[in-house]
Amino acid sequence: MLFELALAADRVYMLRGETEETAAKISLGEMNFGALPMCNGNLAIAGSISWRAEKLELLHQRIGEEINAYDAEELG
């Protein structure tokens, strides 16, 4: 739920750390995929990534998993 607040911000930074173990992590839930659409009807997460359906599907498959800063960069 708190990730929705981060998506509403102009910029979001994730600390990469020196290794993947020390990198910042996020975890997504169903709330990020439709419960709180933006005023234009789109998902906030869709506007934050390079809007491509396959990337959104990859994120949806990882609901509940921790995504570190390295993975987040790859996912857009």
Position 39 scores a pLDDT of 82
What's the CA gap between 8 and 46, in Å, rounded?
12
What's the CA gap between 37 and 14, in Å, rounded?
23
Over residues 18-48, the pLDDT tens digits come to 888 899 998 888 887 877 777 888 777 776 6
User: What would the two tokens of residue 21 be?
Assistant: 């173990």
What lies within 8 Å, CB to CB, of 46 at 6+ separation is 56
Domain span at 45: 2-75
Place of tokens 């506007």: 47
DSSP 8-state code for residue 20:
G
Position 8 scores a pLDDT of 66
